[in-house]
Amino acid sequence: MRAVIEPFRIKVVEPIHRTTRPERERLLRQARYNVFRLRSEDVLIDLLTDSGTGAMSDQQWARMIQGDESYAGARSYYRFLEVVNALTGMPHIFPVHQGRAAEHILCTILGGPGKVIPSNTHFDTTRANIEYTGATALDLPIAEALSPETLHPFKGNMDVKRLEELIHRTGAERIPACFLTLTNNTLGGQPVSMSNVQEVKATLDPYGIPLIIDASRIAENAYFIKLREPEYADRSPWEIAREIFAIADGCYMSAKKDGLVNIGGFLAVRDASLARRIEQLLILWEGFPTYGGLAGRDLEAIAQGLQEAFQEDYLHYRIHTIAWFAEQLRQRGVPIIEPPGGHAVFVNAARFAPHIPAEHFPGQAIVCALYVHAGVRAVEVGSLMLGKRDSNGRHIAPPLELVRLAVPRRVYTQSHLEYVADALADLFAQRQHLRGLQLLSASPFLRHFTAELEPLEPSLLLSGDTVL
Ligand code: F0G
């Protein structure tokens, strides 16, 4: 049997709202051409993020009713602790309200002016939390990761040679930790191999630099290892993840991804003195260490969700869904990052709209046109999210201009994704009408969330006569 099916049936449904094209033109104009500023009710299919947008299972909802909301020592905390400890093997585990809270605490302790924190690629909130302390966030992906069509089974890998060079050049004392993001979200949701995790650790060990895993999508990454690293073919994704954590000195997770919950996360470390410092900041910013900014019911949902996220049937369906979606786009001629990753399909905006220069945000032009045309919300991962300015105010573009179509977990069906593929194919056929945008206002950190933009010139794909 070739068909891969959803390993669940649907018990509760939520209607989605249709809008007309003139309404969407108006709504996007009001949102200053930034889809983060839209109301979700005005979006038909929302592929903005896979973070916190998944559907919980009946088991998770059942466990939530059992949430113990005691301030200290809640039963729900101990359930959470048991599962996170079984998965990570870390002795010191702290709940946090989401991934960036873990980053905030960790980077406050590790960062500071003069420090350098390398990664395969930092996610934008990680980078911002590092830079906010005055430290430098450095991305060291393998060369293949920057070549959109180059096939490589583990495009999320870190370039170990460059890591070694960095340590020699910078001096280990200025590198308080090395991060590895599994999967590598920013460069396409690409997995990191077990052998790469081992090589990174072997490179760091002689210098005593700790390895911290960003485990937000660890289940998807573990499943790719099972599929693509032959010696792991017979191991379960849970066992593979355990092995990754066993190599690391610490980890954090936004459980809004592979924890299958709408809010939550954790931070975990081996070192007792680091744990004490984390605990102090946790109490200051998040809450008492047995709830860390979460309700007891959220801890219950994470404990259950983590176990469901590692079920092979689920991961098989999850990874297959993304691959199927990618194939739909490929068949329609839409240029994508190859091979597709674990949580999203990434459109190569630089090839889709080569006539728009990076400083006029080709990815954002596609995102805006996709919303106006079809009511679909995607997110730009390119010059708007990751671009910088040099001291002369000139735009420094990131290596890739992408549009991410992130697929929420257990939410949309095949026909929803087929609709999105058709919509992108329509735009691709009209791509010469895409026009760039300019920034009207932007904040110094994480500017894409709140930036205001306007089209540089009238665009048929954003307003006026319907060409599609
Ligand atoms: N690390 C990675 C790899 C992420 O993708 C994210 C969030 C975070 C950390 C921060 O976690 O949102 O819980 O604070 N990624 C979301 C996304 C926002 O859309 O990819 P958070």
Instruction: Determine, yes or no, domain membership for 248.
Output: yes
Of the residues 268, 284, 309, which one is the last residue of a structural domain?
309
Residues 296 and 415 in one domain: no
Cα–Cα–Cα angle for 54, 402, 437, rounded to 5 degrees: 110
Q: Are residues 166 and 36 in the same domain?
A: no
d(CA 424, CA 303): 38
What is the number of the ligand 1 atom nearest to the C-alpha of 100? 14
* Number of domains the chain is built from: 2
Q: Residue 339: is the preceding peptide bond cis (ω within 30°)?
A: yes
Domain-terminating residue out of 273, 289, 309: 309
319 and 302 fall within a common domain:
no
Determine how many CB atoms are found less than 10 A away from the CB of residue 242: 17
* CATH code, 182: 3.40.640.10
- Please give the distance, rounded to the nearest whole angstrom, from the Cα atom of residue 125 to the centre of ligand 1: 7
CA of residue 463 to ligand 1 center, whole Å:
32
Domain assignment of residue 85, yes or no: yes
- Name the pTM for this structure: 0.96
Q: Hey, whose CA ends up nearest to atom 4 of ligand 1?
A: 123
Q: Give yes or no: residues 263 and 377 share one domain.
A: no
Protein residue with its CA nearest to atom 19 in ligand 1:
49
Low-confidence ranges of the chain (pLDDT < 70): 464-468
Q: Is the peptide bond before 183 cis (omega within 30 degrees of 0)?
A: yes
The number of the ligand 1 atom at minimal distance from the alpha carbon of 101 is: 14
Residue 364 lies in a domain: yes
The residue to mutate among 117, 253, 257, 448, having the most atoms of ligand 1 within 8 angstroms of its beta carbon, is 257
Boundary-marking domain end, from 247, 275, 309: 309
251 & 323 share domain: no
CATH number, domain with residue 375: 3.90.1150.10
Pocket mutation for ligand 1, best pick of 100, 125, 221 (most atoms within 8 Å of C-beta) = 125
Tell whether 39 is covered by a domain. Answer: yes
Does 335 sit in the ligand 1 pocket, CB within 6 Å? no
Q: Is the CB of 214 under 6 A from ligand 1?
A: yes
Is the same domain home to 303 and 386? no
Note whether 27 and 165 are same-domain residues: no
* Within a domain: 2: no
For atom 1 of ligand 1, which residue has the closest CA?
123
Element housing 251 (H / E): strand 250-254
* Same domain assignment for residues 333 and 271: no
**Which letter, b or e, does each residue of 340-379 get, where b requires 16 or more Cβ atoms within 10 Å of its Cβ?**
bbbbbbbbbbbebbeebebbbbbbbbbbbbbbbbbbbbbb
* 10 occurs within a structural domain: no
Q: Is 216 in the pocket of ligand 1 (CB under 6 A)?
A: yes
DSSP secondary structure, 363-411, as one string? HHHHHHHHHHHH-EE-EEESHHHH-EE-TTS-EE--S--EEEEE--TTT
DSSP state of 54: P
Of 328, 446, 429, nearest to 381 by C-alpha is 446
User: What residues make up the domain containing 422?
Assistant: 21-50+311-463
153 in any annotated domain: yes
Co-location of 30 and 69 in the same domain: no
DSSP letter string, 277-338: HHHHHHHHHT--TTTTT--HHHHHHHHHHHHHHT-HHHHHHHHHHHHHHHHHHHHTT--B-S
Establish if 15 belongs to a structural domain: no
Query: CA-CA distances (angstroms) from residue 90 to 76, 84, 305, 316?
Result: 19, 8, 19, 27
Do 257 and 319 sit in the same domain of this protein?
Answer: no
Residues 150 and 41 in one domain: no
Residue 257, Cβ density class (10 Å: 0-12 exposed, 13-18 middle, ≥19 buried)? buried
Residue 256: both structure tokens together: 């809004």
pLDDT at position 465, please? 52
Do residue 346 and residue 382 come from a single domain?
yes
Indicate the pairing of strand 402-406 with strand 379-381: antiparallel
